Amino acid sequence: MKIKEITFYNYRVYKGLNTIDLSVRDGKNIIIVSGNNGYGKTSFLTGLVWCLYGKQMEMVDEMYKKEVDSQGGYQNFFHKSLNRDAKKEGISKYYVEVLMEDVELVDGIYNVRIKREYDIQESTDTLYIKSESEDMPLPDEEYLDEDKNKDYFIRENILPIDIAKFFLFDAEKIVNIAELSLTQQGEELSKAYSQILGIHKYEQISDYLEQLLGKIKRESASPDEVAKFNNLRTQYDTLIEITIPEIKTCIEELKEKKRNLDYQKQEIENSLIEKALGYSEDYINNLRKEEEELKQEESKLKQELLQLYEWTPLASAGNLLLLVKEKIDTELQEKWQEAAEKDIDEKINTIIDKFWEEYKKNTSDEFSLHRRLKNIIEQAIEQAVRETIYELPIENKPTSGTFKLNYTENQKNQIEKLINYIATSFKEVFAKTIEERNMVENRLLEIRNKIKKAEASVNTEETQQLRERKKQKENEIENLLKEIGAKEQELKELENKANKISYDIKKLEEKVKTREEFKKKEKFIKDLRSKLNDFINKFHKKKKETLEQRILAGLKSIMHKTNLIDRVEIQTIERSMSIRLYNSHGEEIPKNSLSKGEQQMLATAILKGLVEESGIEFPVFIDSPMQKFDQLHATNIIEHFYPTISEQVVIFPLLNKELTEKEYQKLIPYIAKSYLIINEDGKSSFEEIAPEELLNTYNKKYLAYDK
């Protein structure tokens, strides 16, 4: 599956009709789309995601949710996506259209055209899906008349939304894939892992068989049990299908209203600053944007510190840990000595017994020997054996005291790893995180002081009215937050109630005795589900092992420290998943001890492994490539990642910054097409340029590079 072309019509900076041909050929799989900041690279990727997923685009990645939030909610977000000049001309519609080639459906290969259009006057979002060939209509075209079925078609046949972030991503932000210590991220990766490797389809069948088994049990129950079950089922269905969705819808509406109020409050604050200091709207927006980015960074650093604080009691007890280690070493040494002593004693007794056997053969006076003399002889034999053979003099055995830890060798190794981490990596990471947090807090305080100073610097009737309006919005937001909190608490209670009823339903089902006529069906389904679950476990294990190998191979191919990581392990616990790294000594490597470049290398290897293992043929779109990479890493990415990750790779670099001339020259053999985004009078369009001429054309046009 490939994307032949994408069309933007009055979408953001793309005024009028703008179509870009993304065809690849002759084994060249890379398309370059470059332009200066603000010319439309990010809008390109956002438009593609919007075309495929509409309002659900925020489920693709957190960055899209933040963008919607920053615009004051979906309605503002969609309205502001109409090109400004088109809006002035009275045009109310814009759309993004994607032509997909070689889409494999149940009865053949199709070229599919997907178009999403928005009308700001009607506030309508319309999705169109049709076959490119009139002679070959899509199967079940009537089914695709309903919007929900169109969304389902895209998820099932084009690209599942849970894994879209692995194909449409910002390389600078993809580092969070490597940071898998948080439960939410682990759950997201586990869900994507199940989806991308095709495991979820078998899991769905297993769940269906479980439901079918429950249905058979219910049909075989007594009238009283059926009545009780039906009552519970009605309560559960009402909660799940009506009450809880209504509460969730209400919460979303309240959050959308809050987004709008946040936006209005921000507009008032911007007006106050503009009145106070005469700043331009762009300057104010940049100030707000930096404030928001710093808040997010502050939140992230606080989360990291919370995790690090869990280690501080152990770090504070460093000397005690050393004493524990010494105690363990002493105990293990004693155990070894005890085992050795026991072995030596057995051998000495054997030698003494052998001595007296030989003595008896040669003399009949054994029993005439004085007992004291016998003891002296036996002691002499023991001393000779110990000093001559084992080189161990007879001495008092050391003691570690009456209190025993009884640690194993493996537990001792874990304690040593813990001490090494606290003594080296922990201190460095902790100090670095504290320093970064202080820098962020200081910069955030500086920006907020500027905003407050600007707001307070002018005291006219107009600014007073603005402050009153701002206060009013703040009160409305506070009331909304209380209302949202109350609804979320109500939702939590209802979900707990639903879980309790669900538990009672399952408990009742277990108590139901299956009638004779249902036993064969029950046995058949149980056997089938058992075999299916065995298959899922084996399939999961096989996929897990091959994915571990792919990630490790990816790391070896793109990291210049080839000996840094020796083993990759994927751990899955219930719905959560994490990826652990180990060195050649079997020691775990904390991911936060890796440099930013190494973290991005890890994220890239995870991405590559998932995409390769999935078998899904979909283009990979990469924004902001190679910002954190050094020269050797960048070379490895160019030679081993971009040419192999997919049959079609679209890259959006800032030339000379995110992609240097030297790096670009290495990439040219793999480039099928290259484009510059040209912006004139605030309107952007695509200009195709031969790959060999792209950099020279860019440098001449924008004078951004001085040889």
Q: Given pLDDT bands bounded at 50, 70 and 90, which one contains residue 180? A: very low
Tens-place pLDDT, residues 601-647 = 887 888 888 778 777 777 889 887 655 566 777 778 888 888 888 89
- Contact predicate 172/61, CB 8 Å: no
Buried b (16+ CB within 10 A) or exposed e, 572-596: eeeebbbbebeeeeeeebebbbbee
Q: What is the mean pLDDT of residues 556-581?
A: 76
- Tell me: pLDDT of 523 over 90: no
For helices 631-640 and 516-558, what crossing angle results, to 10°?
A: 130
| Residue 209 confidence (pLDDT) | 86
- Pick the more confident residue, 111 or 572: 111
Q: Given pLDDT bands bounded at 50, 70 and 90, which one contains residue 689? A: very high
- Contact predicate 311/422, CB 8 Å: yes
DSSP 168-222: EEETTTGGGGT---SHHHHHHHHHHHHHHTTHHHHHHHHHHHHHHHHHHHHHTS-
Cα Rg, the chain, nearest whole Å: 35
- Contact predicate 169/618, CB 8 Å: no
- Tell me: pLDDT of 335 over 50: yes
| Residue 69 confidence (pLDDT) | 86
Tens-place pLDDT, residues 90-105 = 999 999 999 999 888 8
Angstrom distance (rounded) from CA 292 to CA 300: 12
Q: Given pLDDT bands bounded at 50, 70 and 90, which one contains residue 273? A: confident
Tens-place pLDDT, residues 41-69 = 989 999 999 999 999 898 888 788 888 88
**393 CB burial (10 A radius; 0-12, 13-18, 19+):** exposed
- Pick the more confident residue, 514 or 70: 70
- Tell me: pLDDT of 285 over 80: no
Q: Quick one: tokens of 287?
A: 């100030």
Q: What is the mean pLDDT of residues 345-352?
A: 80
- Pick the more confident residue, 459 or 503: 503
- Tell me: pLDDT of 705 over 80: no
- Helix residue ranges, H only, 317-408: 318-362, 371-384
| Residue 696 confidence (pLDDT) | 92
Provide CB contacts within 8 A for 326, sequence distance 6+: none
Q: What is the mean pLDDT of residues 20-32?
A: 93
Among candidate residues 35, 45, 42, 43, the one with its CA nearest the CA of residue 675:
35
Report the mean per-residue pLDDT for the chain.
80
- Tell me: pLDDT of 542 over 70: yes
For helices 596-614 and 516-558, what crossing angle results, to 10°?
A: 130
- Tell me: pLDDT of 367 over 60: no
Least confident of 174-178, 380-384, 562-566, 632-636: 174-178
- Tell me: pLDDT of 458 over 70: no
DSSP 524-556: HHHHHHHHHHHHHHHHHHHHHHHHHHHHHHHHH
Query: Helix or strand or coil: residue 655?
Result: strand
- Tell me: pLDDT of 223 over 80: no
Overall pTM > 0.75: no
The torsion of the CA quartet 502, 503, 505, 511, rounded to 10 degrees, works out to: 170
DSSP 613: H
Q: Given pLDDT bands bounded at 50, 70 and 90, which one contains residue 128? A: very high
Q: How far is CA 256 from each of CA 191, 484, 550, rounded to the nearest angstrom?
A: 27, 11, 42
- Tell me: pLDDT of 673 over 70: yes
Query: Helix or strand or coil: residue 688?
Result: strand
Q: Given pLDDT bands bounded at 50, 70 and 90, which one contains residue 187? A: low
- Contact predicate 174/601, CB 8 Å: no
DSSP 28: B
**Residue 605, Cα to own-chain centre: how many angstroms?**
13
Q: Given pLDDT bands bounded at 50, 70 and 90, which one contains residue 428? A: confident
- Tell me: pLDDT of 452 over 50: yes
The one-letter code for the residue type at 590 is P
Angstrom distance (rounded) from CA 95 to CA 80: 13
Q: Quick one: tokens of 694?
A: 């792209």
- Token pair 């036996």 is at which residue? 378
The one-letter code for the residue type at 158 is I
Size of the chain in residues: 707
| Residue 490 confidence (pLDDT) | 93
Q: What is the mean pLDDT of residues 160-176?
A: 70
Helix (H) or strand (E) holding 468: helix 461-511
Angstrom distance (rounded) from CA 150 to CA 289: 35
- Tell me: pLDDT of 20 over 50: yes
Angstrom distance (rounded) from CA 287 to CA 296: 14
Angstrom distance (rounded) from CA 368 to CA 582: 69
DSSP 289: H
- Contact predicate 332/398, CB 8 Å: no
- Contact predicate 86/100, CB 8 Å: no
- Tell me: pLDDT of 297 over 90: no
Q: Given pLDDT bands bounded at 50, 70 and 90, which one contains residue 184? A: very low
Provide CB contacts within 8 A for 30, sequence distance 6+: 24, 642, 643, 649, 650, 651, 667, 670, 671, 672
Most confident of the following: 208-217, 340-349, 543-552: 543-552
Q: Could you count the other beta carbons within 10 Å of the beta carbon of residue 459?
A: 10
**Percent of the chain residues past pLDDT 70, beyond the cut:** 79
- Token pair 């290897």 is at which residue? 605
Q: What is the mean pLDDT of residues 150-177?
A: 75
Q: What is the mean pLDDT of residues 500-525?
A: 72
Provide CB contacts within 8 A for 478, sequence distance 6+: none
Provide CB contacts within 8 A for 166, sequence distance 6+: 192, 196, 607, 610, 611
- Pick the more confident residue, 364 or 694: 694
DSSP 130: E
- Tell me: pLDDT of 411 over 90: no
| Residue 183 confidence (pLDDT) | 40
Q: What is the mean pLDDT of residues 475-479?
A: 92
- Pick the more confident residue, 319 or 293: 293
- Tell me: pLDDT of 173 over 80: no
Beta bridge partners, 19, equal: 7
